[in-house]
Amino acid sequence: MFLKENILLALSGLRSNKMRSFLTMLGIIIGIGSVIGIVSIGQSLQQNVSDQMSSMGANNIYVYVAQRDNTNIMNNLGGGETGKMDDADLLTREQIENVQKKFGSEISSIAYWADAETGKATKGHDYANVTIYGVNPGFFQVQNLKMEHGRFLQDRDIKGLRHVAVVSDRLVSNLFPPGTDPLGKTVEVAGDKVTDIYTIVGVYKYQTSGMMSGNASEKDVRTYLFTPVTVGKETAKNKNYAGFELQPKSVENASALTSELKTYMTRLYAKNVKYTVSVYNEENMLSTVMNVMGKISIAIAAIAAIALLVGGVGVMNIMLVSVTERTREIGTRKALGARSGYIRAQFIVEAVIICLAGGIIGTVVGLLLALAGTSLLGFKFVLSVPVILISVGFSMLIGIFFGYYPAKKASQLDPIDALRYE
């Protein structure tokens, strides 16, 4: 009963002093809006980075042969060291397939490849720059490729040494007239070593991240042309493989699987005095990046929250003014029997309503700012309900905290002195 009366009294006071009430709320609105806007943009940025890294294989596990005194992944992944190694030092196809058999229950797919070769695909007078990449069928899932037409490479292509290719939509647009079905068409590809003719069996969507990155030029962009790994190995100096990449079935199990693989592969190369096998997973790096970005967002939000403190001081100030203005009213209520707790609750409720209204308006402002910011930055907007609830709840706490002193002061007024106040 008393709570309802206090709420009605507070709303009546807000309506009678609209401009003053709005200016009082302004600090809360700015503070809440800033915090929600910054945190929402930060979370959107985190989600965008996480999605990009995941699409690049952040949860994948890389296994590569490296010199015992040089385990730098950038120097070894993709066959960078293959030319300096003997076949005996590299991984055989059978060894890679044994890994898939042994850890089959934990591995979603496994990819291995031949050394990449740059070249140019031509059709008549038209051309497209390509990187010829001999891969196995598992490469499709591990690299998260998106097929637009046809199919990816299959086991029969690998076993049959078929000169077929999966090309990008960019290559198709460069070599064929609009509306042409490229499936079954042939392209001549002049590589660093040989010139060959491939039949197109599939078209994937070009991406600018991960292993699919290329030149930014529209016409001369270099995309991957995927051929069977056995075809890619035909002209290679070494017939074995410098490494492979696998995709865990469970993201949560990636770290444990990395440790198991490391133990298994280390034993496999225990007798090799020159080379070993390193196992690498970017999950830890992704976690570190997310943690750093999260801390930065929190730090910036904490700075923005200073506006909340300023707004709270403004609420306390205006409530003290209100107590002074309503001294006779308070004295009358106390003379009629109102207890000090009732008077205190009345002013606390009024402060809470002011802050709650400011918090709700600030939340809307913050979400609009976050939506505009993420749109300008090209990120997907992420709505965080917990942040909204915490911000609104925090605004109510500010009302209680900064409204308590004025409310206590009002409740302690002597009714006789209050009635005499002019």
Q: Which residues of 352-377 are buried (b: 16+ CB within 10 A; e: fewer)?
A: bbbbbbbbbbbbebbbebbbebbeee
Distances (CA, A) of 110 to 72, 88, 101: 21, 22, 11
User: Rounded to an integer, what distance in angstroms lies between the CA atom of residue 221 and that of residue 173?
Assistant: 12
Closest to 145 in 3D by CA, of 200, 223, 64: 223
Nearest to 150 by CA among 201, 199, 185, 225: 201
Cβ-proximal residues to 189 (8 Å cutoff; 6+ apart), any chain: 119, 120, 121, 122, 130, 132, 165, 195, 196, 197, 198, 225
- Nearest to residue 292, comparing CAs of 46, 98, 88? 46
CA distances from 72 to 63, 67, 269, 278 (A): 12, 9, 17, 9
Domains of the chain, CATH where assigned: 2-52+288-420 (no CATH), 59-115+239-281 (3.30.70.330), 121-134+143-235 (no CATH)
Closest CA to 131 of 242, 230, 212: 212
pLDDT at 418: 52
**Whole-number pLDDT of residue 413:** 66
Phi, psi of 236 (to 5 degrees): -80, 150
* Rounded alpha-carbon distances, angstroms, from residue 336 to 104, 287, 339, 342: 82, 64, 9, 12
DSSP string, 117-142: EEEEEEETTEEEEEEEEEE-TTHHHH
In the block, residue with structure tokens 């008077």 = 343
DSSP for 334-363 reads HHTT--HHHHHHHHHHHHHHHHHHHHHHHH
SS3 71: coil
* Other beta carbons less than 10 A from residue 181's beta carbon: 12
Distance (Å, rounded) from C-alpha 174 to C-alpha 183?
Answer: 15
User: Residue 257: which of 410, 99, 375 has the closest Cα?
Assistant: 99
The C-alpha torsion from 223 through 229 and 232 to 237, rounded to 10°, is 130
Q: What's the whole-model pTM score?
A: 0.57
Per-residue pLDDT of the chain (422 residues; tens, 9 = 90+): 466 776 776 677 667 777 777 777 887 888 888 888 888 888 787 777 766 655 555 678 889 998 877 555 444 444 444 556 788 889 999 999 899 899 988 898 999 999 888 999 998 888 999 999 999 999 999 888 899 999 999 999 999 999 999 999 999 999 999 989 999 999 999 988 788 999 999 999 987 644 444 444 567 789 999 999 999 998 888 889 999 999 888 766 778 888 899 999 999 998 888 899 988 876 666 666 667 777 777 777 677 667 777 777 777 877 777 777 667 776 777 677 767 777 777 778 878 888 888 888 888 998 898 888 888 877 788 777 887 787 778 777 877 777 777 777 767 666 665 555 55
Say whether 297 sits in a helix, a strand or coil.
Answer: helix
d(C-alpha 167, C-alpha 128), whole Å: 10
Residue 222 DSSP one-character state: -
Q: What is the pLDDT of residue 296?
A: 76
Amino acid in position 301? A
